């Protein structure tokens, strides 16, 4: 297994699912729908799930079905004191430092949120300056194959087989796998999966179990 680039998802991939950060973002999405789009509070949860399932992100669903100012939306939903949810993560830093290959964030969130998360975790310098964010791939989003193609174009057009893609979303991982990427799924909720065709770990700290170091031979 050789590779020249690792594409990392951001939210609940670089940090654990139980930090409360993602829940806070979801609550801001609810509030945006209520306060700015005047959707009745009682309808928000079901509508958000429906849009997410149909369009891949709530933002894309709102943009397709309503008059949405995407910049305003992204600013509002990510307006969160991130250091109340995340802290510097030396264990993550040590792990990432073992992989001296290009590392790029590929996220359905926006770049400024990704910047703040990486800086709070104290791993910003270990990743490319360039972030493939939701505006880079707009109006697309993961898991759409075209979004992966843009990510590949923006990161030097490596063959998909030379790229490792890591995400906690099974839909995103399945899409990348189909496109020929080497994939690793962070199955953080321990969902039952039968004979997955790719490595599955529960959290990022287990990465060494399935991604060989450039100087090692460990594999799942
Ligand atoms: Mg994620």
Domains defined along the chain, listed by start: 5-17+86-209 (3.40.50.1000), 21-77 (1.10.150.450)
Rounded to whole angstroms, the Cα distance separating 193 from 217 reads 25
Per-residue pLDDT at 136? 97
Give the distance (Å) from ligand 1 centre to CA of residue 39.
26
Give the distance (Å) from ligand 1 centre to CA of residue 106.
10
106-119 burial, b for 16+ CB within 10 Å, e for fewer? Answer: bbbbbbebbbbbbe
Per-residue pLDDT at 194? 82
Rounded to whole angstroms, the Cα distance separating 19 from 85 reads 6
Per-residue pLDDT at 219? 46
Instruction: Report the candidate in 43, 50, 46 with the shortest Cα–Cα distance to residue 64.
Output: 50
Give the distance (Å) from ligand 1 centre to CA of residue 53.
15
Rounded to whole angstroms, the Cα distance separating 75 from 73 reads 5
Q: Are 107 and 114 in contact (CB under 8 A)?
A: yes
Q: Give the CA dihedral 81, 14, 185, 207, nearest 10 degrees.
A: -160
Per-residue pLDDT at 1? 65
Q: Are 160 and 152 in contact (CB under 8 A)?
A: yes
Q: Are 176 and 6 in contact (CB under 8 A)?
A: no
Per-residue pLDDT at 108? 95
pLDDT lower than 70: segments of the chain? 1, 214-220
Give the distance (Å) from ligand 1 centre to CA of residue 99.
21
Instruction: Report the candidate in 106, 89, 98, 112 with the shortest Cα–Cα distance to residue 209.
Output: 98
Give the distance (Å) from ligand 1 centre to CA of residue 114.
11
- Region class of 185: left (phi > 0), else alpha (psi between -120 and 50), else beta: beta
32-62 burial, b for 16+ CB within 10 Å, e for fewer? Answer: bbeeeeebeeeebeebbeebbeebbbbbbbb
Give the distance (Å) from ligand 1 centre to CA of residue 1.
24
Give the distance (Å) from ligand 1 centre to CA of residue 30.
18
Give the distance (Å) from ligand 1 centre to CA of residue 5.
19
Per-residue pLDDT at 195? 82
Per-residue pLDDT at 24? 95
First-to-last alpha carbon distance for the chain, in angstroms, is 11
Residues with Cβ within 5 Å of ion ligand 1? 9, 11-13, 168
Per-residue pLDDT at 215? 58
Helix, coil or strand: residue 163:
strand
Per-residue pLDDT at 214? 66
Per-residue pLDDT at 217? 52
């Amino acid at each position: 297994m050789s590779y020249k680039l690792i594409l990392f998802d951001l939210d609940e991939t670089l940090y654990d699912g139980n930090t409360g950060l993602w829940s806070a973002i979801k609550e801001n999405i609810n509030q945006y729908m209520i306060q700015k789009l005047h959707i009745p509070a009682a309808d928000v949860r079901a509508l958000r799930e429906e849009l997410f399932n149909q369009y891949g992100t709530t933002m894309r669903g709102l943009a397709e079905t309503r008059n949405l100012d995407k910049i305003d939306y992204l600013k509002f939903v990510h307006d969160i004191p991130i250091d109340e949810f995340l802290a510097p993560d030396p264990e993550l830093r040590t792990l990432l430092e073992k992989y001296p290959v290009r590392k790029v964030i590929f996220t359905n969130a926006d770049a400024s949120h990704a910047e703040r998360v990486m800086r709070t975790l104290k791993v910003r310098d270990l990743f490319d300056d360039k972030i493939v964010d939701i505006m880079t791939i707009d109006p697309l989003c993961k898991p759409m194959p075209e979004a992966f193609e843009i990510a590949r174009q923006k990161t030097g057009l490596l063959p998909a087989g030379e790229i490792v893609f890591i995400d906690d979303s099974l839909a995103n991982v399945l899409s990348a796998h189909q496109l020929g990427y080497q994939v690793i799924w962070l199955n953080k909720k321990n969902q039952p999966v039968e004979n997955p065709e790719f490595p599955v770990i529960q959290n990022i700290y287990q990465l060494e179990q399935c991604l060989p170091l450039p100087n090692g031979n460990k594999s799942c």
